[in-house]
Amino acid sequence: MMQSENNEAIFNALEAFLPKDAVVNCRRFGNGHINDTYLVTCREGFPRYILQRVNQDVFQNIDALNHNVELVTEFLRGKVEAQGGDPERETVVLVPAKDGGKHYFDGEGQCWRLTLYIEDSVCYDQVEKPEDFYLSGRAFGRFQRMLADFPADQLLETIPDFHDTPKRYRALERAAAADRMGYAAKVREELDFAAAREADTHAAMDMLSRGELPLRVTHNDTKLNNIMFDARTGEVLCVVDLDTIMPGLSIFEFGDSIRFGANTGAEDEKDLSRVSLSLELFECYVKGFLDGCGGSLTRAELQMLPMGAKLMTLECGIRFLTDYLEGSVYFKTAYPEHNLVRARSQFALVADMERKWDEMVKIVEKYAAGT
């Protein structure tokens, strides 16, 4: 008998995947802020599972999301099996519903999925030491390598223009011109900072349009807590939380990790003297990422890695500033100036990257030479 906090919708979702008498316990699991996630314990003879209700307020194109997750998980499973690995520990495994589908829609149109729980695994919320950041880089680099021959154009764009930096900049220009909150005059310095780097916003997208950067499968949420580690050996098992899988650029995948992982200050640090790029952490991630990629990146991608870090930081600052000018309607804020503080912090990090540009390039060249 099921002993849990579950409501009828959760119970019905479990029945869509598992025998009626299989479930013993189901409880909330993890600290994710988007999907509802539960750890499911069953009677003897069954493994444990993760049940999720996908948040369709956030992920509105649910059919595209499901399409991407199903294609990528099946592809990765085949890769792991071909390499003699254990796909039940080294990939996300979708459990089929009784009707044969990989997802279940209940009577209210809510989307549910069931995956195998990876036993003897652990994830971490924060980088505690440089080795953690190295392992994070290696995990996402390995993710790139394993999907290097996946035809990325088969994936659907679930968040249109997600990292189209020129479009993000044009949105900032429109927000400043409209000035619906009357804030533009007091953020002139920030607007000028972004305008001075408008040409940079085109760098990656222009190369993509010319065929100089390949379209890749990108995860788009490269946080440490989206990596599962073996609890006994400490080795990386797999990357999880695939809802933001889309076609994109490897340099953006790399760059977003640097943006939040190698920053000596918080994303919303008010004291900008605390904001800088840690070259030590930058080097750790470069080494890990390129070790994981295993030579799968092109020469152009390698050369553009520092620009990927700068662009993702600049783009994030532009998005925060745009939202501030529009009245903070997108990002959650704790106080009225929160998005402006975030934008200033990101721009401060961009400026520090520019000061350390030669060192960044040399670090990438050092490890790229061995690939």
Q: Check whether residue 204 and residue 339 sit in a common domain.
A: yes
Counting the structural domains of the chain, the total is: 2
pLDDT in tens, 41-100: 999 999 999 999 999 988 889 999 999 999 999 999 999 999 999 999 999 999 999 999
Question: Which residue range forms the structural domain that includes residue 21?
Answer: 8-67+93-117
What is the distance between the alpha carbons of residues 64 and 215, in angstroms, rounded to a whole number? 18
Q: What is the pTM of this model?
A: 0.89
Burial string for 185-205 (b: 16+ CB within 10 Å, else e) reads eebeebbebbeebbebbebbb
Q: What pLDDT is stored for residue 3 in this prediction?
A: 42
Give the pLDDT score at 224.
Answer: 86
Question: Could you tell me if 198 and 346 lie in one domain?
Answer: yes
Domain assignment present for residue 293? The answer is yes
Question: Does one domain contain both 299 and 346?
Answer: yes
Instruction: Give pLDDT, residue 34.
Output: 80
Instruction: Classify residue 294 by burial, with Cβ atoms within 10 Å: 0-12, 13-18, 19+.
Output: middle
Both 193 and 309 in a single domain?
yes
Taking a C-beta distance cutoff of 8 angstroms, is the pair 26, 4 a contact? Answer: yes
Q: Which of 160, 183, 133 is nearest to 291 (CA)?
A: 133
* Residue ranges in the chain modelled with pLDDT below 50: 1-6
205 in the same domain as 97: no
The answer to whether residues 47 and 171 belong to one domain is no
In a domain, 240, yes or no: yes
Asked whether residue 87 is assigned to any structural domain, the reply reads no
Let me know if residue 74 belongs to a domain: no
Task: Indicate whether 54 and 153 sit together in one domain.
Answer: no
Q: Is 84 inside any structural domain?
A: no
302 and 356 co-located in one domain: yes
CATH classification of the domain holding 268: 3.90.1200.10
The verdict on 113 and 143 lying in the same domain is: no
The CATH number of the domain holding residue 104 is 3.30.200.20
Q: Would you say 114 and 49 are in contact if contact means Cβ atoms under 8 Å apart?
A: yes
Q: Are residues 304 and 162 in the same domain?
A: yes
- 224 and 283 both lie in a single domain: yes
What per-residue confidence (pLDDT) applies to 4? 43
Q: Does any domain span residue 80?
A: no
Q: Do 103 and 31 fall within a single domain?
A: yes
Is residue 13 domain-resident?
A: yes
